[in-house]
Structure 1
Amino acid sequence: MVGAGPVFTQQPTDLVVVAGQPVTLPCSIPGYHGMVLWLRDGMALGVNRDVSGVGYPRYDIVGDHGKGEYHLLIQRTEMQDDAFFECQAIQAAIRSRPARLTVLVPPDDPVIVGSPVVSLRAGDHLNLTCHADNAKPAASIIWIRNGLVLSGAMYSKTLLRDGRRESTVSTLYLSPNNIESGQHITCRASNKAAPNGKDATVTVDIQ
């Protein structure tokens, strides 16, 4: 079409990444030789290649500028990268669709209060508490004994100050006739960033 201006042949799309991994958001505008600006949640990151030098050392603009490629490379993604990104061609007055980058964070290693050994007197019931902190999304916790998942645990989740990560606490109650000395009980915490889970184990010692 005669007189048509530059158009995007590649635009950023919604992506999900685990914290610490690199990610590249594409932006291609063939035939365009003006200024290109990337925005994160509406805030300018820098023009053309000048991104890492203006306070974003993990960010870089990569690709062949002669072909109109201005891809945004993010090294070692962090929680602050969980945002909307947009590519703008200033002189052409065009902007890409906003793309949501979702950053997942695995839980910290779970901790069972009182581990590694919990001592009881004969006839006492057992209360175990396990917490898995700083996860996005919140960690799910299961309790395992002898390869079997134990039921009846209580759960609570707390949203952290950053408004993104959550901590999970689970409490397991076992009656005296349901525990034996020397048993190992495992708390397993998992989320989308740690699908195989992380374990903490406690040994029951009945005096």
Structure 2
Amino acid sequence: MHSLTLALIAICGLTVGFAAAPAPAPRTAAAPANNFYLEVQNWVRSVPHKEIQQLVRAYALNDAGFQSVLREINSLPTYRLRQQVLRQPEVLHLIQWLGQQLLLSGGSLKVFDDLEIEIKLFNKYPYWAQSVNGVAGFEQEFLYLYPVQQLRSLLESNAQQSPASAELWRRLVALKPVYERIVATPQAIAFGNRLRALGVDIAGVDSLIRYQLGWSNETISNYDYQDYLGF
């Protein structure tokens, strides 16, 4: 069983970085032939954020184990770790470059706003109170919703069709040394140990992140891509 918990943290962490980054100065260069903004928008829309948000809400309001994971994710040490990631030069350069490319193609970093998750105080549906099954249950349901292979294929196919998407994919793949550097720090090791103690599948998380960002070509086990061909 593979967990998407840290993958979500990584995606949301970059999203926070995109949203917080200052808007790049306007340029006079002509917009690229391929509309990079529409390509990124299509990628974002491929993430079933509404379904994921409902799943997170259900577990956040009703599952004690998942609540413990959320508290750990939102702890001060984890916040500092997230800021450490966002301060890495490669990540800063990626955010700046991405903002500039989106601006040139008629968009902005706000395209990632849909990936943000909001939590309301009351169950939207009565059955939520009895439909949660701990951290492992959340992992299974989250994995079913998140189309990791479709997103990987979409990124790779876009990279073959437009220079901007090819550069984005190159920069994402080039983040591997940053990841290796961060996960080797005492802060990240302690964070992983705390999540592991709470039931998070850290090995599965690592495998998924490496596959999603192009650092590994291993297939994700227990994942039926056929379910998402018509997504």
Query: Which structure shows the bigger proportion of residues in strand conformation?
Result: 1
Q: When the two structures are superposed, what TM-score results if normalisation uses the length of structure 2?
A: 0.23
Query: Which structure shows the bigger proportion of residues in helix conformation?
Result: 2
Q: When the two structures are superposed, what TM-score results if normalisation uses the length of structure 1?
A: 0.25
| Higher Cα Rg, which structure | 1
Structure of greater relative contact order (alpha carbons < 8 Å, 6+ residues apart)? 2
